[in-house]
A = this chain, B = another copy of it.
Amino acid sequence: MAIDEELGFVVTPWEVRGEVDYGKLIKKFGVEPLTRELLQRIERHAGYLHLYLRRGLFFAHRDLGLWLDSYEKGVKVVLYTGRGPSGRTHIGHLVPWIFTKYLQDAFKATLYFQVTDDEKFLVKQELTMDEVERYSYDNVLDVIAVGFDPERTKMFIDTKYAKTLYRIAVEVAKHVTFSTAKATFGFTESSNIGIIFFPAIQAAPCFLAQYLEGKDAHVLIPCAIDQDPYWRIARDVAPKLGFRKPAGIFSKFVPGLIQGGKMSASIPESSIFMTDTPEEAAKKVWNAFTGGQPTVKEQREKGGNPDICTVYYYFYFLFEEDDKVVEELYQRCRTGDVICGECKRKLAERVAKFLEEHQRRRERAKDLIDKFLVED
């Protein structure tokens, strides 16, 4: 396990594999790696460095330095992130939200949270608007349960806030040609005209603070790196509308328990859903892909490989704050001192605790929906 000083995050197997991918993405998207200096600036304002920053789960950005400049100069700073409600919320979805809450607390920033029911309806052939609506209200509970400040958070479901969003989106859309959208998102002749327009709807909240309040603001978007193409469009258009370019801070993906890559609700046995019972979650953890040997005997003799182990990844990025404990876990795996069953049991306990706490807050969220959701 090596620290990459320059990038400011830990290199792990996922990052080795991921390094290739994310390195390519950084180049391809033209984003910047997070630097130590930027992390220190966040730490100074927040009082501590979030686990996701210390361990490099958030790894790249656009204009984060400028956004921090704005904050330090007294320009109004806001946050913007979202959710596409095409199914149940899983643990991977929570990563940007937990991180956004950290930033909201640190910078006392208003958060605009977009629920893109339109997008999901438009891209998923079989999905009806009724289904998307059910998912929207269901998913909103998981967002609220993360603990955002109700005084500083405006959540909206696109189709319920379309008067406001569409007004901004037409101004954005006027500056985005089909050619640009095609090059950015890979649209084809058979793409529907709704999804072709959608980048304008996703760009709209970047300018919501300015639009609603009629004054300067600077937005930072915490999200997974796969959303970056949307922000390239928004950043292109921003100066043409007289606004600052949105800044972004981007995470890697949380891998599925079995299939790796990006956790996907369409592979339920590989995803921990926020409404799973502790037993369901434990069963999934039990079937997780690890770096262990085929038998306990071999594990004791040869040691395991934490660099390719999902269970270790979850401890490292999500569940174990203590640097010493993860380092020790890493070594104990390598030397065969710990076997997979032990790790899985521990992770299942952590997951159960996390789910129970989330589900408690999720129940309370049902009474808070009106405090968070804005509608036209």
A296 at the interface (CB under 8 A from B): no
* A171 vs B162: C-alpha distance when bound (angstroms): 14
A4 at the interface (CB under 8 A from B): no
Give the chain B neighbours of A200 by CB distance below 8 A: 193-194
- In the complex, the answer to whether A121 meets B166 with C-beta atoms within 8 Å is no
A266 at the interface (CB under 8 A from B): no
Which secondary structure dominates chain A's binding surface? helix
Q: Smallest distance from the beta carbon of A105 to chain B beta carbons, Å?
A: 32
| Copies held by the complex | 2
A178 at the interface (CB under 8 A from B): yes
A179 at the interface (CB under 8 A from B): yes
- In the complex, the answer to whether A196 meets B170 with C-beta atoms within 8 Å is no
On chain A, which size bracket covers the interface? 35 or more
* A122 vs B170: C-alpha distance when bound (angstroms): 7
- In the complex, the answer to whether A193 meets B177 with C-beta atoms within 8 Å is yes
Query: Considering only CB atoms, which chain B residue lies closest to A124 in the complex?
Result: B174
Give the chain B neighbours of A179 by CB distance below 8 A: 189-190
A175 at the interface (CB under 8 A from B): yes
- In the complex, the answer to whether A178 meets B190 with C-beta atoms within 8 Å is yes
- In the complex, the answer to whether B118 meets A170 with C-beta atoms within 8 Å is yes
A243 at the interface (CB under 8 A from B): no
A162-B163, A197-B193 known; A122 vs B173 contact (CB < 8 Å): yes
A159 at the interface (CB under 8 A from B): yes
Show 22 residue pairs from A and B whose CB-CB distance is below 8 angstroms, ordered by the A residue. Answer: A118-B166, A118-B170, A121-B170, A121-B174, A159-B167, A162-B163, A162-B166, A162-B376, A170-B194, A173-B193, A173-B197, A174-B192, A177-B191, A177-B193, A178-B187, A178-B191, A178-B196, A179-B189, A193-B200, A194-B197, A194-B200, A376-B376
Having A169-B194, A173-B193, one finds 7 other A-B pairs with CB under 8 Å, namely A121-B171, A159-B163, A173-B194, A174-B192, A176-B192, A196-B196, A376-B376
